[in-house]
């Protein structure tokens, strides 16, 4: 997946956590920030990825030892990330916003693996076994489908954040849609009555 799609998928996952746990506004920004980091983290195993280019001293050895879409794209890594997330969450001395960021990193990381799972290349869930798994329906990176996915995930993010912070706007939109439908029906009824 393109880096932009990974980022928006991470944001959508973070927004899901925010809406689900009813996180207040300021801590929510930490969740979303963490989700952006988490969404990029698995590709640290590729020296040419966005993160790999910035941290080559980590990316180069990782790529040489494990290869791209290796250990960082496995269930093992996911368990490791969740474990680290719990350590941060249970750490009493840490400030609350770091816990929020940890939640976001976990959500973003998961979103990245699910995203790659939906592409042709698939992910080696059972690493160190080399077999890669992908969804029955996959797409290629950079195709029109990925652009559509980007758009849908962006809309999903806006929807979830509106649901959390401004639910009345959704009610207003619903009322507006009803009004428009009513008006449309009136226009249609009028048009049908007018002889051509």
User: What residues numbered 65-94 form the site for Zn ion, per CB under 5 A?
Assistant: none
Kindly state whether residue 116 participates in binding Zn ion, applying the rule CB under 5 A.
yes
**Smallest separation, CB 68 to Zn ion (Å):** 8
Answer for the pair 124, 73: CB distance below 8 angstroms, yes or no: yes
Q: Among all chains, which residue has been given the structure tokens 């980590």?
A: 58
Nearer to Zn ion, 48 or 171 (CB): 48
Angle (CA) 9-11-27 rounded to 5° is 155
Kindly state whether residue 45 participates in binding Zn ion, applying the rule CB under 5 A.
no
Nearer to Zn ion, 9 or 161 (CB): 9
Nearer to Zn ion, 131 or 193 (CB): 131
Kindly state whether residue 146 participates in binding Zn ion, applying the rule CB under 5 A.
no
Q: Which of 29, 32, 20 is nearest to 160 (CA)?
A: 20
**Smallest separation, CB 132 to Zn ion (Å):** 12
Retrieve residue 97's tokens.
Answer: 């916003």
Specify the long-range contacts of residues 178-186, CB closer than 8 Å, at least 24 apart.
none
**Smallest separation, CB 112 to Zn ion (Å):** 6
Answer for the pair 16, 160: CB distance below 8 angstroms, yes or no: yes
* Interacting residue ranges for Zn ion, rule: CB under 5 A: 42-43, 116
């Amino acid at each position: 997946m393109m880096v932009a799609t990974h980022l928006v998928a991470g944001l959508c996952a973070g927004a899901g956590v925010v809406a689900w746990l009813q996180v207040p506004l300021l801590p929510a920004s930490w969740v979303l920030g963490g989700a952006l980091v988490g969404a990029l983290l698995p590709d640290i195993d590729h020296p040419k990825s966005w993160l790999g280019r910035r941290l080559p001293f980590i990316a180069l050895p990782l790529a040489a030892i494990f290869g791209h879409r290796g250990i960082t794209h496995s269930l093992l890594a996911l368990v490791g990330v969740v474990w680290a997330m719990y350590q941060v969450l249970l750490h009493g001395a840490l400030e609350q916003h770091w816990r929020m960021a940890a939640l976001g990193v976990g959500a973003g990381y998961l979103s990245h693996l699910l995203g790659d799972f939906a592409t042709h290349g698939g992910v080696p869930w059972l690493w160190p076994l080399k077999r890669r798994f992908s969804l029955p329906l996959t797409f290629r990176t950079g195709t029109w489908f990925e652009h559509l996915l980007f758009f849908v995930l962006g809309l999903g993010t806006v929807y979830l954040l509106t649901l959390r912070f401004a639910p009345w706007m959704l009610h207003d939109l619903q009322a507006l849609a009803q009004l428009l439908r009513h008006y449309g029906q009136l226009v249609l009824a009028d048009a049908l009555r007018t002889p051509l």
